[in-house]
């Protein structure tokens, strides 16, 4: 698949010189790249907050918006302005076939479409309206509500649209499972852990606040909304966990379980409250915050209690408002990415040639230094003796610093000439020590925890909403390896183990799987620069295979693109409409492999130059970020800027800083 562009960018227009009746041929991309870079740097600098950080919108899908309206309906706090603005956004995302997708250009998704439909009904849209009738017909054709994911049916159960008895059990007694026992709380990834604990409360309480209308139009047979589901053979994992769920349903009715359940609910409440952040949120993520508010409210906390009052305030901060011809529109971000955006912007601007002591870089470094986390969080369960020192993704998330952000922040800080070098170096040393200490047993690194690789959580009937564990990945491992090399630790035995793991993880096609970005282009764009930074020569067979693969999947327009369907269908690997961010990832890999003068790099640079907009930015409607592979996709609105600036900067200036500054 190839992509086309619709119009020329600012630098392309500047390159077209006319005289009388003759138009000069466009200059080569290499000559135009410095102008494009200058415009892009100016645009990126203009977007820095006065406090030093950058943050782009984080776009996901309409389940965030639908569930926000459902929450407000459940708590009785809905207001007309919010409802109307949210409904406008949800309607704007509906596809021609009546469905809603989880990423631009993707197929309609059943649970997302059900939640969007229900939210619009709460907003006053009638089932006979054309857009609603199209959605309900499609839903019925896909099996109706009964075929949707468990999380969707939980939301419907809150309003009596689904029976709690027909949902899998998730008992709060999970709080008491020891850390060595299968399916204990810390076998789940941090995002799942924060969601599951409050959901155990909701599932135990089984509240119903009847809705003002029914949803018969969303069932294939309203008389039998939940048709029998066949049991898998007991010799399979699915069969075993289905029978475990039946046993848990029986346990719920066991009289002696009452005191234990009450104690477990109290333990869950304490766990939730202890992890509320200073800004009132939980983990800086919208879904755990939503479920935590519901859980505590069901346990008797009124909406004016300080914990709930601040929690509800925090949810409002996930809202992005803008104007449309039809009126205000409100979009909900699943989370916010200021630390991630700021470190990537700092790297980009430094690599673009901005002086290391430029005020914008120093201000960004100051903000990042203030954000370093120096207290322990849930990660310490698996690494109890490790001194903290990481960074989180969000404004406030001290319980869950992540390894990927920490690595990139270190790479950013090392590019800044700070007026207090001792302060910066001390922060970097703490971060490097923490990150290396979070290595998993297999020699690689995951996003939030070490050795979070149990096979059991994903088998639970309850856990059908996406990835619920946090195994090591090539992209995170690459960033840690690159960070360590920049800090003079390339020969540390832990780093060498990470390098060997990366070499062993290379796919037969020459690329690497991208866990947190789409997909093989992201993984390869992360790994190749990291391997080269540790001393792997550009002539190494692994590097040559990666270069050959990237060249083989370059689009006819010179860019690179990869569709999210590559997570499910191998035919999509390396294929998709060209995007600015994915083109930049491929260029970063090729440039680090010594391919600056290759035809592929020349064409890739030309794509970025030709598609740049008048204001120095790029447009990117496609989703290139990953929350859960396939199940939850992200469009980071700053990716379209920071990565092209990085790639063009490295093309124009080469490597702008010397690694190993902190060695010894």
Closest CA to 642 of 601, 614, 608: 608
The rounded distance, in Å, linking the Cα atoms of 104 and 94 is 11
DSSP letter at 317? Answer: T
Q: How far apart, in whole angstroms, are the C-alpha atoms of residue 281 and residue 283?
A: 6
- How far is it, in rounded angstroms, from Cα 342 to Cα 416? 13
Query: Residue 297 has which token pair?
Result: 């409210």
Helices (H), 123-167: 130-141, 150-157
Is residue 404 flagged as an active site residue? Answer: yes
Residue of 619, 634, 511 whose CA lies nearest to 572? 511
CA distance 157 to 165: 10
Catalytic one among 404, 451, 470, 631?
404
Asked if residue 219 lies in contact with residue 140, where contact means CB atoms within 8 angstroms, the answer is yes
- 3-state DSSP of 20-52: CCEECCCCCHHHHHHHHHHHHHHHHHHCCCCCC
Helices (H), 206-337: 237-252, 257-274, 286-298, 306-316
**How many Å apart are CA 101 and CA 427, to the nearest integer?**
42
Give the CB-side neighbour count of residue 396, counting CA atoms within 13 A: 14
Decide if 194 contacts 285 (C-beta within 8 A): yes
- Beta strands 22-23 and 319-324: pairing type? unpaired
Tell me the catalytic residues: 404
């Amino acid at each position: 698949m190839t992509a086309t562009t619709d119009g020329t960018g600012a630098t392309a227009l500047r390159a077209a010189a006319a005289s009388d009746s003759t138009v000069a041929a466009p200059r080569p991309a290499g000559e135009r790249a410095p102008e494009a870079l200058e415009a892009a740097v100016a645009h990126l600098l203009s977007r820095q907050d006065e406090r030093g950080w950058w943050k782009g919108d984080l776009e996901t899908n309409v389940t965030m918006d639908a569930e926000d309206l459902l929450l407000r309906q459940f708590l009785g706090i809905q207001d007309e302005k919010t409802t109307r603005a949210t409904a406008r956004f949800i309607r704007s995302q509906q596809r021609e076939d009546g469905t809603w997708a989880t990423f631009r250009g993707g197929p309609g998704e059943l649970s997302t479409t059900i939640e969007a439909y229900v939210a619009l009904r709460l907003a006053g849209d009638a089932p006979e309206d054309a857009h609603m009738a199209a959605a309900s017909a499609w839903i019925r054709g896909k099996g109706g509500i009964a075929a949707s994911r468990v999380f969707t049916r939980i939301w419907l159960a809150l309003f009596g649209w689904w029976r709690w008895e027909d949902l899998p059990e998730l008992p709060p007694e999970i709080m008491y499972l020891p850390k060595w026992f299968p399916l204990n709380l810390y076998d789940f990834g941090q995002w799942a852990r924060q969601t599951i604990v409050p959901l155990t409360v909701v599932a135990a309480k089984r509240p119903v606040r009847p809705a003002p209308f029914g949803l018969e139009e969303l069932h294939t047979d309203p008389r039998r909304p939940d048709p029998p589901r066949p049991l898998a053979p007991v010799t399979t994992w699915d069969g075993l966990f289905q029978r475990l769920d039946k046993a848990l349903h029986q346990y719920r009715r066991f009289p002696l379980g009452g005191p234990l359940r009450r104690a477990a609910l109290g333990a869950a409440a304490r766990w939730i409250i202890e992890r509320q952040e200073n800004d009132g949120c939980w983990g800086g993520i919208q879904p755990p915050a939503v479920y935590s508010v519901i859980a505590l409210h069901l346990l008797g906390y009124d909406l004016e209690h300080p914990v709930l009052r601040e929690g509800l305030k925090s949810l409002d901060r996930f809202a992005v408002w803008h104007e449309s011809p039809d009126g205000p529109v409100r979009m909900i971000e699943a989370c916010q990415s200021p630390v991630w955006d700021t470190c990537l912007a700092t790297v980009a601007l430094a690599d673009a040639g901005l002086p290391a002591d430029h005020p914008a870089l120093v201000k960004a470094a100051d903000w990042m230094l203030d954000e370093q986390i120096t207290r322990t969080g849930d990660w310490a369960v698996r690494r109890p003796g490790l001194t903290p020192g990481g960074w989180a993704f969000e404004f406030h998330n001290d319980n869950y610093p992540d390894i990927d952000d920490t690595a990139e922040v270190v790479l950013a800080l090392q590019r800044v000439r700070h007026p207090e070098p001792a302060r910066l170096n001390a922060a970097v040393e703490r971060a490097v020590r923490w990150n290396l200490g979070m290595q998993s047993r297999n020699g690689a690194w995951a996003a939030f925890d070490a050795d979070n690789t149990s096979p059991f959580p994903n088998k639970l009937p309850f856990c059908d909403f996406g990835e619920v564990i946090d195994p090591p990945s090539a992209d995170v491992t690459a960033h840690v390896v690159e960070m360590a090399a920049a800090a003079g630790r390339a020969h540390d035995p832990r780093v060498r183990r990470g390098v060997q793991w990366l070499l062993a993880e290379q796919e037969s096609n020459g690329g690497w799987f991208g866990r947190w970005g789409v997909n093989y282009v992201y993984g390869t764009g992360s790994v190749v620069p990291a391997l080269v930074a540790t001393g792997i020569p550009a002539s190494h067979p692994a590097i040559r295979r990666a270069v050959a693969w990237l060249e083989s999947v370059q689009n006819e327009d010179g860019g690179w693109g990869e569709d999210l369907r590559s997570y499910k269908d191998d035919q999509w690997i390396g294929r998709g409409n060209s995007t600015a961010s994915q083109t930049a990832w491929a260029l970063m890999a090729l440039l680090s492999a010594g391919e600056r003068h290759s035809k592929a790099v020349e064409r890739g640079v030309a794509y970025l130059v030709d598609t740049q907009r008048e204001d120095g930015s790029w447009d990117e409607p496609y989703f290139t970020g990953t929350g859960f592979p396939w199940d939850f996709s992200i469009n980071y609105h700053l990716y379209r800027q920071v990565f092209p600036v990085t790639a063009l900067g490295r093309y124009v200036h080469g490597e702008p800083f010397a690694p190993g500054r902190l060695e010894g």
